[in-house]
A and B are shown apart, each in its own frame.
Chain A
Amino acid sequence: MADEEQQFEQERQSLEVDIACVGFGPAMGGFLTTLSQKLAADSDHPLESAVMTGMPLQVICYERADDPGFGVSGVVTRARGIRSTLPDLDPSQIPMATPVSQEKVLYLLDPVGASRRSLGLRTADAAIKAFRWMLPVDHDALELPYTPDFLRKHDGLVMSIGQFNQWVASQLMTSGLVQIWPAMPVQQALIENDAVVGVRMVDQGVDRQGKPDAGYMPGMDIKAALTVVGDGPVSPVGRQLDERFGMPPGHEKHDWAVGMKAVIELPEHVDLKPGTVFHSFGYPEPEIFGFFYVHPERVATVGIFVPSWFDSPVRTAYRYLQHFMMHPYFWRYLKGGTLKSWGAKSLQESGKRGEPFLAGNGYARIGEGSGSTNVLTGSGVDEAWTTGTQLAESVVELLRAGQKFTRENLERTYVQRRRRSWVEKEGRVAEHARDGFQRGVISGLIGMGLAGMTGGRVSLHLETKAPHERLRSPEQFFASRLSAQELANIRRHCTQTNTPLHDAVMEACGWPAIPFDGKLLITHQDALLMGGKVQAPAGYADHVSFRDAHVCELCGARTCIEICSGQAITPGENGVPAFDREKCVHCGACLWNCSQADANGVTNLEFRAGAGGLHSAQN
Chain B
Amino acid sequence: MPDPLQTLEPVTGVGLPALKNEMMLPAVLDPWAGHALYEAANLAKKVPGSKVYLVSLGQKAKLQQVMMTIAQKVSFELVAIDGPASGFTDAHEVAPALAAAIMAIPGIDKSRLLLFGGWESASRGAGATMQILGEILGITDQFEGVDEITVQDDGSFQVLERVEGGKHQVSTCAGTPAVLGWATGNLGEPRNDPQVGMANMRTVMPALQRAKPAKVAAEGVLYGRVELPKQQRNTRIVKDMPADQIAREIIEWISQK
Chain A contact residues, CB within 8 Å of chain B: 13, 15, 17, 55, 58, 60, 66-69, 95-96, 163, 166-167, 169-170, 173-174, 176, 179-184, 201, 204-205, 215, 217, 220, 222, 297, 340, 516, 518, 522-523, 526, 529-530, 533, 539, 615-618
| B256 lies within 8 A of chain A by Cβ | no
Please encode chain B, from 110 to 133, with 1 for each CB lying within 8 Å of some chain A CB and 0 for all others.
Answer: 000000000000000000000000
Taking A163-B24, A170-B65, A176-B205 as given, write out 4 further A-B residue pairs in contact, using a Cβ cutoff of 8 Å, ordered by the A residue number: A15-B198, A173-B67, A217-B191, A526-B235
| Contact yes or no, B61 A201, CB < 8 A | no
Q: Which of B231-256 touch A at CB < 8 Å? A: 233-237
Q: Which of B1-9, B46-54, B157-165 contacts A (4 or more CB under 8 A)?
A: B1-9
| Contact yes or no, B26 A13, CB < 8 A | no
| Contact yes or no, B2 A530, CB < 8 A | yes
B82 to chain A, nearest CB (A): 12
Bound together, the chains give a CA A220 to CA B197 distance in angstroms of 12
Q: Whose C-beta in chain B lies nearest to the C-beta of A523? A: B237
B47 to chain A, nearest CB (A): 22
Q: Whose C-beta in chain B lies nearest to the C-beta of A170? A: B61
| Contact yes or no, B26 A518, CB < 8 A | no
Taking a contact as CB atoms closer than 8 A, the residue among A95, A170, A217, A539 that contacts B21 in the complex is A95
Give the residue among B2, B7, B192 with the most A Cβ atoms within 10 A: B192
Q: Whose C-beta in chain A lies nearest to the C-beta of B72? A: A181
How many chain B residues touch A (CB < 8 A): the figure is 37
| Contact yes or no, A184 B1, CB < 8 A | no
Given A163-B24, A615-B26, A183 and B69 contact (CB-CB distance below 8 Å): yes
| Contact yes or no, B24 A169, CB < 8 A | no
Chain B residue numbers with a CB within 8 Å of A67 are 26, 65, 69
Bound together, the chains give a CA A95 to CA B206 distance in angstroms of 27
Q: Whose C-beta in chain A lies nearest to the C-beta of B202? A: A55
Chain A residue numbers with a CB within 8 Å of B233 are 518
| Contact yes or no, A13 B195, CB < 8 A | yes
The 6 closest A-B pairs by CB, nearest first: A617-B4, A518-B235, A176-B205, A173-B64, A170-B61, A95-B24
| B23 lies within 8 A of chain A by Cβ | yes
Bound together, the chains give a CA A611 to CA B205 distance in angstroms of 26
Taking a contact as CB atoms closer than 8 A, the residue among A15, A180, A516 that contacts B237 in the complex is A516
Q: Which of B45-81 touch A at CB < 8 Å? A: 60-61, 64-65, 67-69, 72
Q: Whose C-beta in chain A lies nearest to the C-beta of B236? A: A518
Chain B residue numbers with a CB within 8 Å of A183 are 69, 72, 192
Bound together, the chains give a CA A533 to CA B4 distance in angstroms of 10
| B169 lies within 8 A of chain A by Cβ | no
Chain A residue numbers with a CB within 8 Å of B209 are 176
A449 to chain B, nearest CB (A): 39
| Contact yes or no, B194 A617, CB < 8 A | no
Q: Whose C-beta in chain A lies nearest to the C-beta of B195? A: A15
| Contact yes or no, B201 A179, CB < 8 A | yes
B178 to chain A, nearest CB (A): 30
Give the residue among B25, B61, B209 with the most A Cβ atoms within 10 A: B61
| Contact yes or no, B64 A617, CB < 8 A | no
Bound together, the chains give a CA A516 to CA B209 distance in angstroms of 50
Q: Whose C-beta in chain B lies nearest to the C-beta of A185? A: B192
Chain B residue numbers with a CB within 8 Å of A180 are 68
Can you name 20 A-B pairs with beta carbons within 8 Å? Answer: A66-B69, A67-B26, A68-B65, A69-B26, A166-B24, A167-B23, A173-B64, A173-B65, A173-B68, A179-B68, A183-B192, A184-B192, A215-B191, A220-B194, A222-B194, A518-B233, A518-B234, A526-B235, A617-B8, A617-B25
| Contact yes or no, B191 A205, CB < 8 A | yes
Q: Whose C-beta in chain A lies nearest to the C-beta of B5? A: A617
Chain B contact residues, CB within 8 Å of chain A: 1-2, 4, 7-8, 21, 23-26, 60-61, 64-65, 67-69, 72, 188, 191-195, 197-198, 201-202, 205-206, 208-209, 233-237
Chain A residue numbers with a CB within 8 Å of B198 are 15, 17, 58, 60
Chain A residue numbers with a CB within 8 Å of B7 are 340, 617-618
The A-B contact count (CB < 8 A) is: 100
Given A95-B24, A220-B194, A174 and B1 contact (CB-CB distance below 8 Å): no
Chain B residue numbers with a CB within 8 Å of A215 are 188, 191
Taking a contact as CB atoms closer than 8 A, the residue among A96, A169, A184 that contacts B72 in the complex is A184
Bound together, the chains give a CA A522 to CA B252 distance in angstroms of 24
A243 to chain B, nearest CB (A): 26
Chain B residue numbers with a CB within 8 Å of A58 are 198
A432 to chain B, nearest CB (A): 40
Taking a contact as CB atoms closer than 8 A, the residue among A163, A169, A201 that contacts B194 in the complex is A201
Bound together, the chains give a CA A217 to CA B21 distance in angstroms of 39
Q: Whose C-beta in chain A lies nearest to the C-beta of B20? A: A297
Bound together, the chains give a CA A66 to CA B65 distance in angstroms of 11
Taking a contact as CB atoms closer than 8 A, the residue among B23, B192, B236 that contacts A204 in the complex is B192
Chain A residue numbers with a CB within 8 Å of B67 are 173
Given A169-B65, A170-B65, A616 and B4 contact (CB-CB distance below 8 Å): yes
Chain B residue numbers with a CB within 8 Å of A96 are 24
Chain B residue numbers with a CB within 8 Å of A539 are 191
Q: Whose C-beta in chain A lies nearest to the C-beta of B201? A: A179
Bound together, the chains give a CA A163 to CA B24 distance in angstroms of 7
Bound together, the chains give a CA A530 to CA B4 distance in angstroms of 10
Chain B residue numbers with a CB within 8 Å of A163 are 24
Bound together, the chains give a CA A340 to CA B9 distance in angstroms of 13
Bound together, the chains give a CA A173 to CA B67 distance in angstroms of 10
Bound together, the chains give a CA A167 to CA B23 distance in angstroms of 9
| Contact yes or no, A617 B24, CB < 8 A | yes
Bound together, the chains give a CA A569 to CA B104 distance in angstroms of 55
| Contact yes or no, B197 A181, CB < 8 A | yes
Chain A residue numbers with a CB within 8 Å of B192 are 181, 183-184, 204
Bound together, the chains give a CA A184 to CA B192 distance in angstroms of 7
Bound together, the chains give a CA A522 to CA B235 distance in angstroms of 10
Bound together, the chains give a CA A182 to CA B197 distance in angstroms of 11
Bound together, the chains give a CA A98 to CA B57 distance in angstroms of 31
